[in-house]
């Protein structure tokens, strides 16, 4: 397969070139880059879970929920990719800096430095479990399950641009297990569920649109409330007060705090100190 | 836990008292004008078809004009705040947005912390960010009983404002959840506390639940309103009895579900009127619904958990195929690579 063209790649190359330019020029380019580079996304979605060579075959297919989200993102000048089913590779979200993060097969390293960890917003839709994303197809003989603790390091290491994660899958943000998986991601915020949600086709879009006026946490908890769901918003920062301040202010569509979280760990290193804060609906 | 917004207990008590007085005034004025009181309205809405036989239902998808959406939005904001909008406050921005698109998100002009969201299907959500962000654990907690009492007061005011329409909304049937908050440093587990009480009230015609049009309400532990959601399609009972086949029993459907979905963990089952966003106006038959979560146990003992689904079986046609909602879309495609 040929290497895909990412809409964000060219602009980020511009940033690196600009560092060699005179200071005044570089400043202009940096200002431009600070806005445009912050508006990119990667959507990975699995809806086909039948006889594709995964261990979880038989769990059943599921509805598509990110098409209108993608339309809304593009309408708001975001750019990126929406990969589905056989084109949605587990490797896209797996840490690329070392093979120790891999999930088997003939492609030992992850590809997050080319895909997920080069985008501001990373979305996965499909099945899962606590701290886990389950893809519908393997890639080059790999497993289909990606565990957040051993496999994913979004926002840090190789590729460290991801700032937000939206997990449209069951139990991925199980509250009692946040330190075991989700907290290994060096993201500003993660959105997910403590239980198994039914998700309407346009609900992720409606959440995104609500963040034009509401902060992400209120928008997620209110949009994904109801129908027996337990939505979770998880935020990370350096101190507890900074964590709640970010929790109450970050807004995706309004471009509030879309920059990556700074200060993440190096490849195969432990995490620097941080706080996590969260809210969820307990039914 | 650190709070960015602190109210003293005296402030909160004052606000709650002020809020209660305003609603008391509304109730008195309503009675004085010869209108049914809120309590009577609430009782009428609740009565619905509680004692009626199983019937068909007519579904109504509200198609609100921009003015209607804005007018409903203004009434909803008034219920949230416990007062009418002031001279410097308006829904001008919201009205402008809702006139251009089928959904709209905007803060109330002059009240930047009050956000209004309108969605296709006539859903309106209003939030008070100042209240929603108040997670000071020192704020006195009204407790579950206090929250339930406040919910009933607010529900009555929603009825009074014409924001709850259709039979079968009985506040006694409301279920309750909690918004919990927690924070901790690396390596530690957070100690959670209740920030907010959430109430959910579905429309129910007799014993049959309606799948859309759920009312939601969030009450901060202080007793102040954090959010309200109303609207959406609703069902109205008809006089026509529902079709039933003597060949179909609930027990036989239970067996059918177990046979057709061997990997399912059952969440709930019961008769429902199924309203889909794409179903338009029409007459609904009650169907037997099974909410389930697909589970698969893997070779290593771990469990794969699917997103929740519901299958609906006809109680009139034993050979009719079950309808799965949301409908799976295994052939969905995206970008090439």
Strands (DSSP E) contained in chain A are 40-45, 79-84, 121-125, 127-129, 132-134, 145-147, 164-168, 189-193, 231-237, 275-282
B312 φ, ψ (degrees, to nearest 5) = -110, 130
Contacts of A82 in chain B (CB under 8 A): 334-335
Compare CB distances from A240 to B2, B195, B267 and report the shortest one's residue. Answer: B2
Give the number of other CB atoms < 10 A from CB of residue A232. 29
Are B190 and B104 in contact by the 8 Å Cβ rule? The answer is: no
Compare CB distances from A282 to B133, B180, B187 and report the shortest one's residue. Answer: B180
Beta-carbon contacts of A178 under 8 Å, excluding residues fewer than 6 positions away, are A234, A276, A278
Give the span between the Cα atoms of B278 and B64, in whole angstroms. Answer: 16
**What rounded mean pLDDT belongs to chain B?**
85
Compare CB distances from A213 to B2, B115, B306 and report the shortest one's residue. Answer: B115
Between residues B19 and B146, which one has the greater pLDDT? Answer: B146
Cβ pair B310:A4 closer than 8 A? no
Task: Tell me what pLDDT residue B165 has.
Answer: 78
B116 forms beta bridges with B106, B126
Average pLDDT, stretch B241-245?
A: 90
Q: How far is B217 from chain A (nearest CA, A)?
A: 10
Are A139 and A107 in contact by the 8 Å Cβ rule? The answer is: yes
By C-alpha distance, the chain A residue nearest B130 is A248
Between residues B114 and B12, which one has the greater pLDDT? Answer: B114
Task: Tell me what pLDDT residue B48 has.
Answer: 38
Q: Which residue has the tokens 């917003």?
A: A121
Give the number of other CB atoms < 10 A from CB of residue B322. 19
Of the residues A63, A134, A192, the best mutation for testing chain B's interface (the one with the most B CB atoms within 10 Å of its CB) is A63
Compare CB distances from B119 to A67, A199, A206 and report the shortest one's residue. Answer: A206
Cβ pair B334:A88 closer than 8 A? yes
Which tokens is B29 given? Answer: 């004025």
The distance of Cα B256 from the centroid of its chain, to the nearest Å, equals 31
Q: How far is B148 from chain A (nearest CA, A)?
A: 15
Tens digits of per-residue pLDDT, B167-179?
A: 899 999 999 999 9
Task: Tell me what pLDDT residue B279 has.
Answer: 55
Contacts of A222 in chain B (CB under 8 A): 117, 125, 127, 216, 218, 227, 229
Helix (H, G, I), strand (E, B) or coil at B332: coil
Cβ pair B334:A81 closer than 8 A? yes
Give the span between the Cα atoms of B132 and B116, in whole angstroms. Answer: 14
Q: How far is A99 from chain B (nearest CA, A)?
A: 22
Question: Nearest Cα to A241, choosing from B113, B219, B225, B133?
Answer: B133
Q: Within 13 Å of residue A20, how many CA atoms lie on the same side as its CB?
A: 4
Give the span between the Cα atoms of B271 and B210, in whole angstroms. Answer: 9
| DSSP type of residue A178 | G
Interface membership of B119 toward A (CB under 8 Å)? yes
Q: How far is B47 from chain A (nearest CA, A)?
A: 23
Give the span between the Cα atoms of B94 and B73, in whole angstroms. Answer: 9
To the question of pTM greater than 0.95 for the whole model, the response is: no
Which helix (H) or strand (E) is B204 found in, with range? strand B204-205
Give the span between the Cα atoms of B133 and A233, in whole angstroms. Answer: 13
Interface membership of B180 toward A (CB under 8 Å)? yes
Q: How far is A88 from chain B (nearest CA, A)?
A: 9
Cβ pair A222:B182 closer than 8 A? no
Contacts of B218 in chain A (CB under 8 A): 222
Task: Tell me what pLDDT residue B39 has.
Answer: 52
Burial class (CB in 10 A: 0-12, 13-18, 19+), B165: middle
Which tokens is A203 given? Answer: 């609900």
Tens digits of per-residue pLDDT, B147-163?
A: 999 999 999 999 999 99
Tell me: pLDDT of B213 over 70. Answer: yes
Tens digits of per-residue pLDDT, B48-97?
A: 333 347 899 998 888 789 999 999 999 999 999 999 999 999 999 999 99
Compare CB distances from A225 to B106, B107, B198 and report the shortest one's residue. Answer: B198
Give the span between the Cα atoms of A15 and A31, in whole angstroms. Answer: 10
A7 φ, ψ (degrees, to nearest 5) = -60, -30
B7 forms beta bridges with none
Interface membership of B117 toward A (CB under 8 Å)? yes
Task: Tell me what pLDDT residue A154 has.
Answer: 98
Positive or negative: CA dihedral A276, A281, B1, B6: positive
Contacts of B106 in chain A (CB under 8 A): 213
Cβ pair B115:A82 closer than 8 A? no
CATH of span A40-280: 3.40.50
A87 φ, ψ (degrees, to nearest 5) = -85, -5
Give the span between the Cα atoms of A156 and A268, in whole angstroms. Answer: 10
Interface membership of B262 toward A (CB under 8 Å)? no
Tens digits of per-residue pLDDT, B257-314?
A: 999 999 999 999 999 999 875 556 788 999 999 999 999 998 889 999 999 999 999 9
Interface membership of B181 toward A (CB under 8 Å)? yes
Task: Tell me what pLDDT residue B53 has.
Answer: 73
Compute CA distances A268 → A114, B36, B281, whole Å.
18, 69, 58
Compare CB distances from A59 to B116, B129, B263 and report the shortest one's residue. Answer: B263
Task: Tell me what pLDDT residue B233 has.
Answer: 87
Are B312 and B272 in contact by the 8 Å Cβ rule? The answer is: yes
Which tokens is A85 given? Answer: 């089913």
By C-alpha distance, the chain A residue nearest B214 is A226
Contacts of A206 in chain B (CB under 8 A): 103, 117, 119
By C-alpha distance, the chain B residue nearest A62 is B328
Q: Domain-by-domain residue ranges, chain A?
A: 40-280
Cβ pair A81:B308 closer than 8 A? no
Compare CB distances from A273 to B135, B185, B218 and report the shortest one's residue. Answer: B185
Tens digits of per-residue pLDDT, B121-136?
A: 889 999 999 999 999 8
Helix (H, G, I), strand (E, B) or coil at B301: coil
Task: Tell me what pLDDT residue A220 has.
Answer: 98
Compare CB distances from B329 to A47, A197, A243 and report the shortest one's residue. Answer: A47
Q: How far is B34 from chain A (nearest CA, A)?
A: 37
| DSSP type of residue A159 | S
DSSP string, B154-178: HHHHHHHTT-S-SS---GGG-EEEE
Task: Tell me what pLDDT residue B19 has.
Answer: 36
Interface membership of B272 toward A (CB under 8 Å)? no
Give the pLDDT of chain A (283 residues) as one tens digit per residue: 333 433 333 333 333 333 333 333 333 333 333 334 459 999 999 999 999 999 888 899 999 999 999 999 999 999 999 999 999 999 999 999 999 999 888 888 899 999 999 999 999 999 999 999 999 999 998 899 999 999 999 999 999 999 999 999 999 999 999 999 999 999 999 999 999 999 999 999 999 999 999 999 999 999 999 999 999 999 999 999 999 999 999 999 999 999 999 999 999 999 999 999 999 999 9
Cβ pair A248:B263 closer than 8 A? no
Verify cis geometry, omega within 30 degrees of 0, for the bond prior to B326: yes
Task: Tell me what pLDDT residue A252 has.
Answer: 98
Give the span between the Cα atoms of B174 and B214, in whole angstroms. Answer: 10
Interface membership of B100 toward A (CB under 8 Å)? no
């Amino acid at each position: 397969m040929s290497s895909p063209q990412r809409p964000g790649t060219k602009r980020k190359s511009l940033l690196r070139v600009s560092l060699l330019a005179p200071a005044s020029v570089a400043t202009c380019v940096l200002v431009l880059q600070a806005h445009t580079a912050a508006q990119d996304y990667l959507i990975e979605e699995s809806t086909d879970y039948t006889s594709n060579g995964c261990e979880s075959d038989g769990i059943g297919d599921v509805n598509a929920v990110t098409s209108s989200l993608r339309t809304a993102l593009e309408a708001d000048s975001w750019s990126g990719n929406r990969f589905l089913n056989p084109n949605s590779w587990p490797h896209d979200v797996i840490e690329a800096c070392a093979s120790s993060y891999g999930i088997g097969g003939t492609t030992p390293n992850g590809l997050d430095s080319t895909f997920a960890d080069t985008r501001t917003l990373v979305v996965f839709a499909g099945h899962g479990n606590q701290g886990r994303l389950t893809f519908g197809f393997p890639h080059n003989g790999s497993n289909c399950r990606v565990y957040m603790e051993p496999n994913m390091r979004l926002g840090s290491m190789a590729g460290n641009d991801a700032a937000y994660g939206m997990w449209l899958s069951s139990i991925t943000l199980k509250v009692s297990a946040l330190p075991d998986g989700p907290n290994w991601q060096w993201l500003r915020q993660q959105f997910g569920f403590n239980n198994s949600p039914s998700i309407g086709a346009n609900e992720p879009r409606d959440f995104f649109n609500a963040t034009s006026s509401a902060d992400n946490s209120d928008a997620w908890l209110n949009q994904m409330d109801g129908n027996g769901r337990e939505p979770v918003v998880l935020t990370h920062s350096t101190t507890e007060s900074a964590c709640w301040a970010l929790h109450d202010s970050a807004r995706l569509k309004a471009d509030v705090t879309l920059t990556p979280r700074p200060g993440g760990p190096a490849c195969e290193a432990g995490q620097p100190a941080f706080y996590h804060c969260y809210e969820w609906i307990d039914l | 836990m650190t709070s960015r917004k602190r109210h003293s207990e005296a402030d909160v008590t004052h606000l709650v008292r002020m809020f209660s007085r305003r609603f008391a005034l509304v109730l008195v004025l309503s009675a004085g004008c010869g209108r049914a009181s809120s309590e009577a309205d609430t009782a009428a809405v609740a009565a619905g078809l509680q004692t009626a036989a199983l019937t068909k239902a007519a579904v109504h998808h509200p198609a609100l004009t921009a003015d209607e959406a804005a007018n409903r939005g203004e009434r909803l904001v008034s219920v949230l705040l416990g007062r009418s909008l002031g001279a410097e406050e308006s829904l001008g921005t919201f009205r402008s947005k809702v006139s251009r698109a089928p959904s709209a998100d905007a803060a109330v002009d002059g009240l930047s912390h009050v956000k209004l969201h309108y969605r296709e299907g006539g859903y309106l959500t209003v939030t008070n960010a100042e209240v929603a962000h108040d997670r000071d654990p020192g704020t006195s907690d009204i407790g579950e009983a206090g929250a339930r009492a406040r919910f009933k007061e607010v529900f009555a005011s929603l009825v009074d404002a014409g924001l709850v329409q259709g039979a079968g909304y009985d506040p006694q049937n409301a279920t309750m959840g909690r918004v919990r908050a927690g924070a901790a440093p690396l390596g530690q587990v957070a100690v959670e506390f209740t920030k907010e009480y959430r109430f959910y009230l579905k429309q129910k015609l007799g014993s049959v639940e309606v799948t859309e049009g759920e009312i939601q309400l969030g009450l901060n532990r202080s007793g102040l309103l954090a959010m309200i959601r109303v609207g959406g399609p609703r069902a109205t009972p008809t006089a026509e009895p529902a079709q039933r086949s003597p060949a179909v029993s609930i027990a036989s459907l239970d067996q059918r579900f177990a046979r057709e979905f061997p990997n399912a963990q059952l969440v709930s089952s019961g008769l429902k009127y199924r309203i889909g966003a794409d179903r338009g106006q029409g007459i609904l038959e009650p169907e037997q619904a099974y909410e389930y979560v697909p589970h698969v146990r893997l070779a290593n003992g771990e469990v794969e958990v699917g997103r929740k689904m519901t299958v609906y079986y006809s109680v009139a046609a034993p050979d009719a195929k079950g309808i799965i909602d949301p409908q799976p879309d295994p052939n969905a495609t995206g970008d090439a690579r």
